[in-house]
Amino acid sequence: MIDEKAIARLELQLGRLLFAGVTSAAICLTLGLALWMARVSPDAANILLTTGLIVLMLTPIARVVASMIVYVRIRDWFFVATTLMVFGVLIAAWLLKT
């Protein structure tokens, strides 16, 4: 049995999570690019640019983890298994890039 209220809360929370991740990554990247272009502090620019990229890469992983937690709470084992497989693919892709 699917809990419609839990799914609605999940969608709202995931939207907020994605918005926060993309917004914070954009702020870091914008500030880092501005510092880099102004040649004010190259070290700070590199740190901000790297942080922005890492936050941007971690945002989908955080979304999958949040989804998995909610699916476990509502005991929807099919979606837990599916989300776990997606999580494995994301981690494998991330590790293969490094």
Predicted pLDDT at 5: 81
Determine the Cα–Cα distance for residues 62 and 59; give it in Å rounded to an integer.
Answer: 5
Domains: count for the chain: 1
Residue 14 corresponds to which tokens in the numbers above?
A: 């995931």
- Domain hosting residue 46, numbered range: 4-97
Determine the Cα–Cα distance for residues 55 and 28; give it in Å rounded to an integer.
Answer: 9
Apex CA 24: angle with CA 10 and CA 42, to 5°?
155
Predicted pLDDT at 1: 54
- Whether residue 32 contacts residue 54, with contact meaning beta carbons closer than 8 Å, is answered with no
pLDDT digits (tens, 9 = 90+) for 35-55: 999 998 899 999 999 999 999
CA distances from 20 to 17, 86, 93 (A): 5, 21, 23
